[in-house]
Amino acid sequence: MPQSVKVALLGCGTVGSEVVRLLHEQEHDLTARIGAPLELVGVAVRRLGRARELPIDPGLFTTDALGLVARDDVDIVVEVVGGIEPARTWLLEALHAGKSVVTANKALLGEDGATLHKAAADCGADLYYEASVAGAIPLLRPLRESLHGDRITRVTGIVNGTTNFILSSMDETGAGYAEALEEATALGYAEADPTADVEGFDAAAKAAILASMAFHSRVTSADVYREGITEVTAADVASAKAMGSTIKLLCIASKANGAVSVRVHPAMIPRTHPLAGVSDAFNAVFVEAEAAGQLMFYGRGAGGAPTASAVLGDVVAVARNRLAGVRSASESAYADLPVSPIGDVLTRYHISLDVSDKAGVLAAVAGVFAKHGVSIATVNQSGRGNQAVLVIVTHAAPDRALAATVAELRALDIVRAVASVLRVEGE
């Protein structure tokens, strides 16, 4: 049997501890699958001396991550610290030293994946990051490898467990956003500062990674149009229900006419859509490809054990590559496709208006849509005394035209309030 493949671990929190545990518990299976044992040779942590009930020699802990990744006896660097710096510096150092890298760092990959990919290619090292999107769900490898003979046209994902928990809870109980957030926080699904989740930053980084992978192009988090869920109201959720739909925070990446569009925003989807049944903190990614048709990948998006499972799958792959003396050759054919601004993206709106109930209102409202070239799919009017509620669902139109339509509706005298505006997807 060949000598061991040596692993350095950066970070030993929730995910890192699970990686250590799995390496230990599954030692026998891992050795059989790789053809050589994996050996943990160092664990970089912020502070030594914290109580860690882990089945490893305490002498493996170090606070010198940079020194660890450059050690001659390290073959694979596993990073589960997160954040842009110092993780980027460490991983670039590792790649430049010819180490293979496995990381769960969505923020770094989303912001600056290109630099890491270039370093990996220049140095003949592997860079794997299955755990960075949708936790345990094997997703990036199928996108990168299994669908290589096909053309992906669109990826629609629920990739943030916190917001999906909140929206599922609003849908089930009729609660408002604040109340549902409070519940999510109490149950540990939302962090004390939930901004990264509820404002869609986390989903946007994952959307950038997914789009890059699906379309073989470079997309960064900054390219992603982003709206969070903080404005979603109980009335919006009720409105969706009345239409046989539910509201999800979606990340959508699509490719048309040689350009890519990538966006994260809440949207109504019909309850018959496979993504509608994805509840609680689960994640799922719906993929449309020219030949394969519709595919969906579903599972846990976060948590120590699920994320560690994805990390270990990558570790096995890169360990095998090292033993075979090869690297995964997938990054050679990247294009730099233009990214369409949100205004150009074709989408549909669901608009709910409080209007005065008098003659000519519908004609005036319809006139605004017509002026902006937006075609109306359905109208539903219900009266309440001298007021009425108009619910309008449009056909697909450029987002710019839809936004302009809403702005003009807001300014109409007969429109007392634009009660809700939501995009409609998945039909």
Q: Which residues are annotated as a binding site for NADPH?
A: 106
Of 328-357, which residues contact a second copy (CB under 8 A)? 329-330, 332-333
Q: How far is the CB of 104 from a second copy (least distance, A)?
A: 13
Furthest-apart CA pair in the chain: how many Å? 86
Q: Which of 136, 158, 167, 264 binds a second copy (CB under 8 A)?
A: 136
Q: What would the two tokens of residue 324 be?
A: 């075979």
Q: Pick the piece of the chain touching a second copy (CB under 8 A) from 46-54, 59-67, 146-154, 220-228.
A: 146-154
Q: Of the candidates 29, 64, 122, 172, which one interacts with a second copy according to CB under 8 A?
A: 29
What is the token pair recorded at 217? 């192009």
Single out the residue of 297, 354, 400, 412 in contact with a second copy (rule: CB under 8 A).
Answer: 297
| Spatial distance between the Cα atoms of 285 and 141, rounded to a whole number of angstroms | 13
Q: 323: Cβ–Cβ under 8 A, 6 or more apart, which residues?
A: 2, 5, 34, 35, 36
Q: Is 176 in the site for a second copy (CB under 8 A)?
A: no
Catalytic residue among 99, 206, 248, 255: 206
Q: Which of 80, 180, 295, 365 binds a second copy (CB under 8 A)?
A: 295
The Cα-based distances of 274 to 246, 279, 426 in angstroms read: 12, 11, 9
Q: Interface mask (CB under 8 A) for a second copy, residues 55-74, using x and -?
A: --------------------
Q: Is 83 helix (H, G, I), strand (E, B) or coil?
A: coil
User: Which residues fall in the annotated binding site?
Assistant: 10-17, 106, 191
Q: Which is nearer to a second copy, 177 or 215 (CB)?
A: 215
- Judged by beta carbon, residue 159 or residue 392, the one nearer a second copy is 159
How far is Cα 220 from Cα 132, in angstroms, rounded to an integer? 14
Tokens of 174: 């009729």
3-state helix, strand, coil in the chain (%, to 5): 40, 25, 30
Q: Is 358 a catalytic residue?
A: no
Beta bridge partners, 8, equal: 42, 77
Give Cβ neighbours of residue 329 (< 8 Å, ≥ 6 apart): none
Measured distance CA(17)–CA(25) in Å, rounded = 12
Among 11, 161, 228, 306, binds a second copy (CB under 8 A): 306
Size of the site for a second copy (CB under 8 A): 58
Instruction: Write out the catalytic residue numbers.
Output: 206
The residues binding a second copy (CB under 8 A) are 18, 22, 26, 29-30, 32-33, 35, 130, 136-138, 141-142, 145-151, 216, 274, 277, 282, 284, 289-300, 303, 305-306, 308-317, 320, 324, 326, 329-330, 332-333
